[in-house]
Amino acid sequence: MRRTTATLSALICAAGCISGAGVVSASADGPAAQAPTLFTRPGEMLGRTLRFRGSVGADQAGRTLQIQRQQADGEWVSTATAVVAQDGSFLARWRTDAIGSFQVRAIVAGAEAQAAAATPLTTTTTVYRPVRATWFGPGFYGKHTACGQVMTHALLGVAHRTLPCGTPVALFFGGRTVTVPVVDRGPFANGARYDLTSAAAESLGIAQSSVVGVVPMRGAPMPAPTPSPYAGTGGVTPPAP
């Protein structure tokens, strides 16, 4: 029993010594480096300031860091810059001037950054165009929309005057987001650009006419029925001749 115990103790000690040696070796040149980070809000309105925070390590202090966003054609364009602080942190600001969903990356200027460009810090964000929107539902339930769907309290969608039926539209309000298809035509009053179904409005917490953020995703239709001859504005059926 004593021999077994001694053997187990030796094995445990050996494992601990190997682990400890690794820690000592890693700390011989200083504290272990923190993993690089990049954070921003998932969405913001066009024209407002979007902040990018993070850390790239104290060894990059004093260097210029560039925030870049990827455009639809795949090209990366400069969006904002910042100087890395002594503790390795950074804060960059972008007064948003383009709408859409963007892949964003942070790159530190210099030869070392170029060598590590294959694995830059990345995140995603969406910039929305602010528009006035209304909502509809009660009084239209059970009727057909201009895109051929039956209006119900559970139908998620928006009405728009020109976007093709089924076009996905990303909506943003009060920090909430939802993507819904165009299901109807309208609105035609109150200066509104979009008319949300009651389900879409409820999912965003909208109870009255409001300014919401929108990003139409042209060319990427969501499944939608074939358009029907029914009138727009809530799918009111044309009166019999």
pLDDT digit string, tens, across residues 136-167: 998 999 999 999 999 999 999 999 999 999 99
pLDDT above 80 for 15: no
pLDDT above 50 for 16: no
- Domains, the chain, ranges and CATH? 37-119 (2.60.40.10), 130-216 (2.40.40.10)
Total Cβ atoms within 10 A of residue 31: 8
Strands 121-136 and 76-83: unpaired
In tens, the pLDDT along 40-66 reads 999 999 999 999 999 998 999 999 999
Contact by Cβ (8 Å): 158, 183: yes
CA angle at 199 for the pair 193 and 200, rounded to the nearest 5°: 40
pLDDT average, residue stretch 117-133: 87
Q: Which of 221, 211, 219, 143 is nearest to 180 (CA)?
A: 221
pLDDT above 70 for 180: yes
Strands 168-173 and 176-184: antiparallel
pLDDT average, residue stretch 178-205: 95
Q: Which of 124, 143, 227, 140 is nearest to 182 (CA)?
A: 227
Please report how many Cα atoms fall inside a 13 Å half-sphere around the Cα of residue 235, on the Cβ side.
29
Q: How far apart are CA 182 and CA 195, in angstroms?
A: 10
Burial 44-77 (b: 16+ CB within 10 A, else e): bbbeeebebebbbebebeebebbbbbbeeeeeee
**Helix, strand, or coil here: 21?**
helix
Of the listed ranges 95-104, 192-201, 226-235, the one predicted with least confidence: 226-235
